[in-house]
Amino acid sequence: MPIKLGQIHQWYLYVVGVVLTLSGALWLYFHYFVRIEGEFGPMHHPIEHFLISTHGITAALMMIGLGSVIPGHIVRAWTMRRNLWTGIFMLLTMAVLSVSGYFLYYLGAEGIRDVSAIVHWVVGLALPLVAWVHIQRGFKTRKLSNR
Ligand code: HEM
Ligand code: HEM
């Protein structure tokens, strides 16, 4: 399996990554900055439910995406030491997001949940930047197109 990802494989990761990030970021905006007038006073916008469930589905799809790049892309690039540092940052970002996402979903304890939430938002909002740098540098370090 080559390091270079196929067209469909790349698009899968880009689309899932964009929907994942947008659903998380929009949820943050609606949850903290938007209230609508309900029968019994101000209430949360109903779109929050749609956003967080979209986020949950795309989070699972991203785990499939992560698994799909391990055997070919990561193992081969790692052996060749190509784009290694930004690749390690990608892996760290994914690891922190999946562990903190797991805590958010399964842990009721307020203290740990609050810390996980902040870590998750900060790293989540940084994901597009980390991915952008990784992809740009990856293209630049390309030496042999078919590996
Ligand atoms: C590998 C990537 C990611 C995974 C596996 C993941 C997973 C999760 C999970 C499981 C939850 C809990 C859902 C629930 O409570 O129903 C969650 C919540 C959330 N995620 Fe993500 N997420 C990822 C990336 C992102 C990104 C890129 C952002 C960008 C801002 C983000 C922002 C959020 C926010 C704002 C919440 C709600 C937090 C709260 O309840 O206070 N996530 N995520
Ligand atoms: C979280 C895991 C990762 C994801 C989702 C990911 C995703 C991507 C994507 C979408 C591209 C641009 C498309 C392409 O060039 O085929 C890319 C390029 C690249 N990545 Fe990763 N990557 C990950 C981890 C790593 C790691 C750990 C390494 C190195 C050890 C690495 C090395 C490279 C290289 C060398 C390129 C340029 C490949 C080329 O010649 O096209 N990646 N990566």
80-131 per-position pLDDT tens digit: 999 999 999 999 999 999 999 999 999 878 888 999 999 999 999 999 999 9
Evaluate whether residue 29 is within a structural domain: yes
Q: Residue 103's domain spans which residues? A: 7-140
Evaluate whether residue 58 is within a structural domain: yes
Evaluate whether residue 2 is within a structural domain: no
pLDDT score at 2: 85
Ligand 1 touching residue 27 (CB < 6 A): yes
Evaluate whether residue 68 is within a structural domain: yes
Taking the centre of ligand 2 as the mean of its atom positions, its distance from the CA of residue 42, in whole angstroms, is 46
Give the count of domains, the chain: 1
- Put simply, whether the predicted model's pTM sits higher than 0.85 gets the answer yes
Taking the centre of ligand 1 as the mean of its atom positions, its distance from the CA of residue 21, in whole angstroms, is 8
Evaluate whether residue 92 is within a structural domain: yes
Distances (CA, A) of 73 to 1, 66, 68, 113: 8, 10, 8, 33
User: What would the two tokens of residue 30 be?
Assistant: 């609606």
Evaluate whether residue 39 is within a structural domain: yes
12-39 per-position pLDDT tens digit: 999 999 999 999 999 999 999 999 999 9
Evaluate whether residue 1 is within a structural domain: no
pLDDT score at 81: 94
Reply yes or no on whether the pLDDT at 146 is more than 60. Answer: no
In residues, how long is the chain?
147
pLDDT score at 143: 62
Q: Among 113, 120, 121, which is best to mutate for testing ligand 1, by the most ligand atoms less than 8 A from CB?
A: 120
49-81 per-position pLDDT tens digit: 999 999 999 999 999 999 999 999 999 999 999
Number of other residues whose CB lies within 10 A of the CB of residue 145: 7
Evaluate whether residue 50 is within a structural domain: yes
